[in-house]
Structure 1
């Protein structure tokens, strides 16, 4: 489709956003979402329709999941678009009362290389914890695939029902032991009960369609069952307001790891800067060692992005940083962990 007239700045932003979603995130992993997002980016009428919504409802993940929740056909863009226009009010009603949430337990595989290197007891504090699935990295089994072979790691009690696989580019990054987690807690604006079937069904709907993602749904449901049996603490509150108070409750003899994954992109720029300042100063405030482990998409923190080599492929990857220093590229769903771009 050709734009008949110059589009407003906000519309141009949405075109760029949906085009980026199609090319950098959905391409090669979810053909259907790639087609839907690319279709929207090339469809001025749909861009205008989405542009009339509040910013939260403009998110591709939320719009697509809400449509599927209501019953959208998993079909080509034109048929899906016709259905979406016809069911627009019902889709918006769903999107208005639901939200994109952390649902990818596979990301624990990209957190473990850092967590496993911490000596002594560890206290985990996750912001944007949702159902707390990523607060349980020591409850899952792992298989790291490296150039040197396969490296398996299991919980102390034996293999878990949930197996997380991750391809790493350096065998030295394969964890050889589980972290000793002494305490764990999370913060979320609206915590999710992993024992609630409706809540877990929504998390499953947030998983993208496509054969590459079928295993993700099974992992999600398996991790939810583990969390439901021994639910981690997730407090209701704003991450900027609650993090210092909750951090102070963690055991003084443990290294506190403040972490998050695909959370800060939902904050505005001033709030991100405020959180970074808080995270980097938390150890001094508490008088103990604190590690800030960040897993966020490029563009969240320009000062961290500047540490990523210009030729590094950040498509479908987060930039992982420790205390503000970029250390790896981590697959958005936990299947890839690459440190070679930062070697030397």
Structure 2
């Protein structure tokens, strides 16, 4: 896929119906030869639309007007490029807990959670949040995570978590204003509800910080998993992370996690983790596949806003 096609794909499959600002901006970049030439000089993982748009927003640049965005990026390219090369899309969307919850609640309790690509660890608190699946509410607390779910009966309650840890190449600290401002910049412009969710989830994490370890998902996973309490069910999980991992390392991770005790929950795009015999997704929008121990269970949207169960 060319860089131009990547931006058109983001506009059509991810931003359309969700962020008019990013849909319009992504289509503009897809046909802007000056910007495409600049992006072409970056490593492939650093060309992605959400990273570029978030960096410009974090630097104080405009994203609402494609012409102003064009001028800003060209004028400030050294600063934009420097941030693109050092930062990553560590979105840490707590809404994803809503698609993990049905699986987590069904596993043998209590749980020891280990998130790969944990960012600031906000998805390590599925037991502290509340959920609303249509008219059905689960749990208590803030934030309340809403998910349009079809094909499943929502769980009766939240899981019991006795240990939580995260592994990330660059862990973020919710008590650091700079790290929180980057998490805020990753939220799409119109999504005020996600900003409120970020603040509420950050307060939960700051009150009881998780164990976050800087490390590689292959080299450092076994040692961190070994720290989990033996009398809890170890659950290694990740959501929208492996697309940033080169395929050979991705394959090594899949082999490794399959050898660990406990369970493995993945929510990744179907071209990132491939499964045989998947049903068609419910719409043309980008969907992830939720899977337990390599067995696909549901289609999910990237921010946890919807899931279609088929497992």
Structure 1 length-normalised TM: 0.86
Aligned match of 2:181: 201
Asked if the contact 2:92–2:118 (Cα under 8 Å) also holds between the matched residues in 1, the reply is: no
Asked if the contact 1:26–1:34 (Cα under 8 Å) also holds between the matched residues in 2, the reply is: yes
Aligned match of 1:224: 202
Which residue of 258, 267, 280 corresponds with 1:280? 258
Q: Residue 272 of structure 1: CA displacement?
A: 1.1
Q: State the Cα deviation string for residues 181-237 of structure 1 (Å, max 9, x = none).
A: 121111111111111111111100100112xx1100110111011101100111111
Q: Which moved more, 1:19-28 or 1:249-258?
A: 249-258
Aligned match of 1:165: 146
> Where does 1:82-121 land on structure 2 (aligned, <5 Å)?
82-121=71-110
Separation in 2 of the partners of 1:167 and 1:311? 15
1:133 equivalenced with 2:133 (yes/no)? no
Q: Which moved more, 1:247-256 or 1:307-316?
A: 307-316
Q: Residue 54 of structure 1: CA displacement?
A: 2.6
Asked if the contact 1:296–1:318 (Cα under 8 Å) also holds between the matched residues in 2, the reply is: yes
Higher helix share: 1
Paired residue total:
311
Asked if the contact 2:143–2:197 (Cα under 8 Å) also holds between the matched residues in 1, the reply is: yes
> Where does 1:30-179 land on structure 2 (aligned, <5 Å)?
30-145=19-134, 150-154=135-139, 159-172=140-153, 174-179=154-159
Where 2:288 maps in the other structure, the secondary structure is strand
Separation in 1 of the partners of 2:145 and 2:64? 30
Where 1:184 maps in the other structure, the secondary structure is strand
Where 2:127 maps in the other structure, the secondary structure is helix
Asked if the contact 2:238–2:265 (Cα under 8 Å) also holds between the matched residues in 1, the reply is: yes
CA RMSD across the alignment: 1.6
> Where does 1:242-261 land on structure 2 (aligned, <5 Å)?
242-261=220-239
Separation in 1 of the partners of 2:36 and 2:222? 41
Where 1:107 maps in the other structure, the secondary structure is helix
Q: State the Cα deviation string for residues 10-60 of structure 1 (Å, max 9, x = none).
A: xx6212211111111111101111111111222233222210123343121
Where 1:256 maps in the other structure, the secondary structure is strand
Q: Residue 311 of structure 1: CA displacement?
A: 5.5
Which residue of 150, 162, 170 corresponds with 1:182? 162
Inter-CA distance 164–55: structure 2 relative to 1 (3 Å threshold)? same
Q: State the Cα deviation string for residues 98-142 of structure 1 (Å, max 9, x = none).
A: 322132011001100100111321111111111110011101111
Asked if the contact 2:171–2:213 (Cα under 8 Å) also holds between the matched residues in 1, the reply is: yes
The runs of at least 4 aligned residues of structure 1 exceeding 3 Å deviation read none
Separation in 2 of the partners of 1:56 and 1:120? 38
Which residue of 169, 192, 201 corresponds with 1:214? 192
1:299 equivalenced with 2:271 (yes/no)? yes
Aligned match of 1:13: 2
Where 2:285 maps in the other structure, the secondary structure is coil
* Bigger Rg over Cα: 1
1:262 equivalenced with 2:240 (yes/no)? yes
Inter-CA distance 75–178: structure 2 relative to 1 (3 Å threshold)? closer
Aligned match of 2:219: 241
Separation in 1 of the partners of 2:291 and 2:303? 17
